[in-house]
Amino acid sequence: MSKLKPNAWVLIASLAFVGGANAQQATPAANSPDAVPDKMPFATPYGAPISLERAQSAISAAIAEAGRRGWAENVAVVDSGANLVAFARMDGAQLASIAIAEHKARASAGFRRPTKAFEDGVQKSDNKSLLTLDGVIASRGGIPLIEDGKLIGAIGCSGGINLQDEATCMAGAATINK
């Protein structure tokens, strides 16, 4: 046996353990928030901005769905640059939701993803760092509008609970997203 003192063996064992732990941290599991994806997520290219006519058509479909269900919603459509193109406030829709509907549409267009992705990231994946990003809203009800594989805008709805907002938006988005 070696002539090292007992404290030296403890030190060597500790260094070996720490080294092993560092090696495990270097390769995170595939579902870990530290895993680097092979492809860029949400990389839909930006396209030409949505026209006013198409934005109004999406809003009309969203309002029809909300009306059919008895919900009072605010609906906003932005273009591919996240600029407001059209907006409608249903009778009785809460005033605070005007800005929220616009925010959902802008976040969806700017980040090229449904705002549900942020909600899931915060609630299901505990990724609170998402909340530090400018323009994020971690609430359903913002959906990108995709035509011919390109993002032409986004629709945002607010006035109900998140699931109602999302259902309203889905009806509007269905006029574009085929």
Walk me through the domains of the chain, giving residue ranges and CATH numbers.
52-173 (3.30.450.150)
CA distance 109 to 130: 16
Averaged over 109-134, what is the pLDDT? 93
pLDDT at 178 over 90: no
pLDDT at res. 41:
84
Query: DSSP code of 81?
Result: T
What CA–CA distances, in Å, run from 141 to 37, 100, 101, 106, 178? Answer: 26, 9, 8, 11, 18
pLDDT at 70 over 90: yes
Give the pairing of strands 74-79 and 84-89.
antiparallel
What CA–CA distances, in Å, run from 120 to 37, 116, 130? Answer: 18, 6, 10
pLDDT at res. 18:
47
**CB 58, CB 155: distance < 8 Å:** yes
% residues pLDDT > 70 (the chain): 81
% residues pLDDT > 90 (the chain): 71
